[in-house]
Amino acid sequence: MTSHVTALQAASVEGRYRLLVDAITDYAIFMLDREGHVSSWNAGAQRFKGYTESEILGEHFSRFYTPEDLAAGVPARALATAEAEGRFEAEGWRVRKDGQQFWAHVVIDAIRDPGGQVLGFAKITRDLSERKAAEEIVKRSEEQLRLLIQGVTDYAIYMLDPNGSVSSWNSGAERIKGYTPEEIIGQHFSTFYTDEDRLEDLPRKALEVAARDGRFEREGWRKRKDGTRFWANVIIDAIHAEDGTIIGFAKVTRDITEKRQAQEALERAQKELFQAQKMEAVGQLTGGVAHDFNNLLMAILGSLEIARKRAAAGQNVVDLIDHAIVGAKRGASLTQRLLAFSRKQDLKLEPVAVPALVSEMAELLQRSIGPTVEISTTFPLTLPPVLSDPNQLQNALLNLVVNARDAMPDGGVIAISARRHQLRDQQVPELKAGNYVCLSVKDEGDGMDAATLEKATTPFFTTKGVGKGTGLGLPMVQGLMGQAGGRLLMKSKPGEGTTAELWMPVTEPVQIEQQQETVQDPVVPYRRLTVLAVDDDALVLMNTVLMLEDLGHTAIEAHSAADALKILAAGPSPDVVITDHAMPQMTGAELADKIAELYPDLKVIVASGYAELPKGAKALARLTKPFSQRQLMEGLAAVQDGWLS
């Protein structure tokens, strides 16, 4: 190895440049005279363009350009730009000897004598379409090689000995890194690396890779003489002697800091745009969420107002109260659907009888849309059950009916119908061949144009105006259909109304029980309990206490976690604590942790409308808000089962 080092160091500067250029196969590096005739040719040039040195020397470099570029005068403009500005850089199509085209990155630098006169041009071309090993190295005169390398200022091109010490230095290296040849030749190339990279021994690893694989390429931070950093693209090629021994390395470095900064600026802009879009979506959601719930509240309030009048007159109001409870449950189900939309929760798929489901919803649908709109239904005598989530299908149907009502401000007819179809493959986009039921909701409104129809199922898109819609209705319906193996199809034309079709797969015929939602009298629990109820909402707390007392339990009220801890400290201890989770100052889960610490035998049930509780709270018994008296009774019974076991 020592003899090779000595030979490399003893070689003339021109000899080193010759070795360096002959070792580079990933770039076509050659010289042109003032008129553009080729006067030198390296192995990279032969590999990219297909011409040997004897074929191309003396020929004009315009033969590498496409006919279109020749007609446009591109070669002449390139030389004129390089002569006027010192440099020309571009990317474009170039032509090989066999006529094939390749996409190339080209740099042309003007070569001047000490008096400033242009002697010729140094041209570097890189094939960006493929990288292959060169087959042979084209010889050049030592003076031409020196002029060529010294004329390149946009790349730091220099050589390293086998140990990594700098043995040659071009003007591009001096411009990019800041060192003169006298300052850097003989120094180790790790001088250009950051302290962090040197601690990781990256310079040694880079040479090891180049020696083993023939080539090393990486991007990373490098240091200039003045200590400033720049982002560099680095290529190291191993230089071998005739016997295959490594005698050094050819190193090409390019400063791509501006490219990196542009990429980072683009990424920042994308993040800012995403944040702006997210905030806009949140604003739309908060401004319009009341619309979807108001339709349910109308049905609930309507039933309760009529029930109040009938009760005052001594009439039976059970059916009206049942309707109000059904509407409230629909509201709770809609909340869960919103959570499912954001968290992609799984649906509870089961066989559903579509005519029975629509029949059960008839009164709720009519109360939701008001007296100016009429609903007509058409179903065949026999219709097989479909596979869906019944609660979410009811929400989907309610959403479609309300959308149809909104499309007819002056009133009209909403037609709900269903039919069975045997679909062929791709007869309906994204649906496999098989048996389906199509449940459709058709209105007599103005309809939608093609652009509006295309965006109808986009989240947060709404045509109802500010504060009148969330833009989540149709996306939720679409999500339900997709998870259940079906599809939502929207059909509309201006002046012809809109039809929403729910395509649902037919399931195996089974006995389907009527899904009538009525209030059932709760069974008597195992034994009477003393229950501490904790909630910062006075109405909710009162409702919980009333349900507990109606079940025969003794209820103690606490309006905060702090009140609850005071009551427990005063004694005697209750049998169970039922606490809301979302409370100020101390949450229900935190209260449960405190109770477990102070009163380890006391059972705690956490009630929450959130889909998830904090980490560590999974083992707690819980009730999902809003809960019914039966669900409250079942929660207490589960706690007692724990005692009995």
pLDDT class for 460, splitting at 50, 70, 90?
Answer: low
DSSP conformational letter for 178: -
- Asked if the 13-154 domain carries CATH number 3.40.50.620, the reply is no
> What is the token pair recorded at 399?
């959403």
Count of C-beta atoms within a 10 Å radius of residue 447: 18
Buried b (16+ CB within 10 A) or exposed e, 116-143: eeeebbbbbbbbeeeeeebeebbebeee
> What is the rounded distance in angstroms from the CA atom of residue 604 to the CA atom of residue 621?
7
- Residue 118 pairs in a beta bridge with 112
DSSP conformational letter for 190: G
- Mean pLDDT, rounded, of the chain: 79
Q: What is the mean pLDDT of residues 300-328?
A: 79
- Residue 434 pairs in a beta bridge with 423
Q: What is the mean pLDDT of residues 24-37?
A: 87
Helix (H, G, I), strand (E, B) or coil at 463: coil
Which amino acid is it at 621? A
pLDDT of 410 > 50? The answer is yes
Domain ranges of the chain: 13-154, 281-505, 530-644
pLDDT score recorded for residue 643: 53
pLDDT score recorded for residue 274: 53
Model confidence over 352-384: pLDDT tens digits?
999 999 988 887 777 667 778 889 999 998 899
pLDDT of 314 > 90? The answer is no
Taken in order 137, 234, 183, 144, is the CA torsion positive or negative?
positive
- Lowest-confidence pick of 24-38, 110-124, 188-202, 450-464: 450-464
Whole-model pTM?
A: 0.36
pLDDT of 509 > 80? The answer is no
pLDDT score recorded for residue 333: 63
DSSP conformational letter for 193: B
Q: Cα torsion for 462, 463, 469, 475, to the nearest 10°?
A: -30
Strand order in the sheet with 412-423: 373-378, 412-423, 434-442, 498-505, 487-492
pLDDT class for 612, splitting at 50, 70, 90?
Answer: low
Task: Give CA separation, 213 vs 166, 205, 236, in Å.
Answer: 21, 12, 11
pLDDT score recorded for residue 149: 61
Backbone angles phi, psi at 131, to 5 degrees: -130, 120
DSSP conformational letter for 346: P
Taken in order 475, 476, 477, 483, is the CA torsion positive or negative?
positive
pLDDT class for 137, splitting at 50, 70, 90?
Answer: very low
pLDDT score recorded for residue 579: 92
pLDDT score recorded for residue 106: 92
- Lowest-confidence pick of 413-427, 533-547, 578-592: 533-547
Count of C-beta atoms within a 10 Å radius of residue 394: 25
pLDDT class for 398, splitting at 50, 70, 90?
Answer: confident
> What is the rounded distance in angstroms from the CA atom of residue 384 to the CA atom of residue 504?
11
Q: What is the mean pLDDT of residues 314-332?
A: 78
pLDDT score recorded for residue 505: 92
Residue pair 41/51 in contact (Cβ under 8 Å)? The answer is: yes
Closest CA to 535 of 575, 568, 589, 583: 583
Closest CA to 15 of 201, 146, 189: 146
Model confidence over 244-293: pLDDT tens digits?
888 889 888 888 888 888 878 777 776 665 555 445 544 444 444 445 56
Percent of the chain with pLDDT strictly greater than 90: 26
Q: What is the mean pLDDT of residues 474-496?
A: 82
pLDDT score recorded for residue 89: 93
pLDDT of 613 > 80? The answer is no
> What is the rounded distance in angstroms from the CA atom of residue 107 to the CA atom of residue 89?
4
Residue pair 52/40 in contact (Cβ under 8 Å)? The answer is: no
Q: What is the mean pLDDT of residues 527-549?
A: 85
Under CATH, which number does the domain 281-505 receive? Answer: 3.30.565.10
Helices 13-23, 142-151: inter-axial angle, 10-degree rounding: 70
pLDDT score recorded for residue 133: 38
pLDDT score recorded for residue 419: 92
pLDDT score recorded for residue 286: 43
Strand residue runs (E) in 25-66: 28-33
β-pair type (156-160, 246-255)? antiparallel
Taken in order 488, 489, 493, 499, is the CA torsion positive or negative?
negative
Percent of the chain with pLDDT strictly greater than 70: 77
pLDDT class for 344, splitting at 50, 70, 90?
Answer: very low
CATH class of domain segment(s) 530-644 = alpha beta
pLDDT score recorded for residue 114: 85
> What is the rounded distance in angstroms from the CA atom of residue 426 to the CA atom of residue 429?
5
pLDDT class for 113, splitting at 50, 70, 90?
Answer: confident
> What is the rounded distance in angstroms from the CA atom of residue 616 to the CA atom of residue 588?
13
pLDDT score recorded for residue 318: 84
Please enumerate in sequence order all residues whose Cβ is within 8 A of that of 584, keeping only pairs 6 or more positions apart, or say none: 536, 560
Q: What is the mean pLDDT of residues 445-458?
A: 78
pLDDT class for 8, splitting at 50, 70, 90?
Answer: low
- Residue 492 pairs in a beta bridge with 498
- How many C-alpha atoms does 183 have within 13 Å on its Cβ side? 10
Residue pair 341/479 in contact (Cβ under 8 Å)? The answer is: yes
Residue pair 225/177 in contact (Cβ under 8 Å)? The answer is: yes
In the chain the first and final C-alpha atoms are separated, in Å, by 82
> What is the rounded distance in angstroms from the CA atom of residue 169 to the CA atom of residue 27?
18
pLDDT class for 23, splitting at 50, 70, 90?
Answer: low
Taken in order 440, 441, 444, 450, is the CA torsion positive or negative?
negative
pLDDT of 319 > 90? The answer is no
Helix (H) or strand (E) holding 282: helix 257-312
Buried b (16+ CB within 10 A) or exposed e, 29-54: bbbbbeebbbbbbbbbbbbbbebebe
